Amino acid sequence: MDVTHIIQTFGIIGISIIIFAESGLFFGFFLPGDSILFTAGVLASQGFLNISLLVFCTWIAAVLGDTVGYWFGARIGIKMFSKEKSFFFNKQYPERAHEFYVKRGGQAIILARFIPAVRTFIPIMAGVGNMPYKKFISYNIIGGTIWTIGLTLAGYFLGRSITNIDKYIIPIILVIIILSMLPAVSEVIKSRKNHTK
């Protein structure tokens, strides 16, 4: 997927739609949110996009996307979990999700922003797990702010400080993807250690 071409073709509106879809719609899990934000910041540093409008629109899109995901999970997603022996839609899952979001929901919502694919499903499961909306929206705003503004401004300031940064975009994006996977890897390692104890 040519991220630069997508950004240059569809502009801030296209970027915002991608961020919205990846943040809370089932089919958006494959979209490259991290690389879109960073590359958009780089292009803004070169004058292709307005950085203030970019930051504002992507932040709104991220928060609204998670919110839509939450309400989808609360209103529609919960109805899918009605079978006793289903592997994917077992009726016990909402109860387990509720317990999880009571204990670690805030942390999960913030960290999920930096894990591809996971960030799409976490808000949906927060709705399924009946996490209080006031608590959800608070962490949604915090996570959305750190993710969108952090990655966009990182691209913007690197773009202004490094000459011909377009030559390094692909390696930088690969580093971002690897770093974004570290929290998930860390959780898997921790869970395995806990199971072996």
DSSP for 136-175 reads HHHHHHHHHHHHHHHHHHHHHHHHHHSTTGGGGHHHHHHH
Domain that holds residue 157: 3-196
pLDDT tens readout for residues 8-44: 899 999 999 999 999 888 788 788 888 899 999 999 9
Nearest-angstrom CA–CA distance, 61 and 126: 18
- Dmax over CA atoms of the chain, in Å, equals 59
User: How many C-beta atoms lie closer than 10 Å to residue 184's C-beta?
Assistant: 16
**For range 65-71, the mean pLDDT:** 93
Q: Give the contacts of 77 (CB within 8 A, at least 6 positions apart).
A: 124, 125, 127, 128
Confidence of residue 90 (pLDDT cuts 50, 70, 90): very low
- Alpha-carbon distances, residue 81 vs 21, 28, 131, 163 (angstroms): 23, 21, 16, 53
Domain count of the chain?
1
Please state, rounded to an integer, the average pLDDT across all residues of the chain: 80
Number of alpha carbons in the 13 Å side-chain half-sphere of residue 40: 33
Residue 87 confidence (pLDDT): 44
Residue 139 or 185, more confident: 139
Whether 61 shows a pLDDT value over 50: the answer reads yes
Instruction: Judge whether residue 101 has pLDDT over 90.
Output: no
pTM metric for this prediction: 0.79
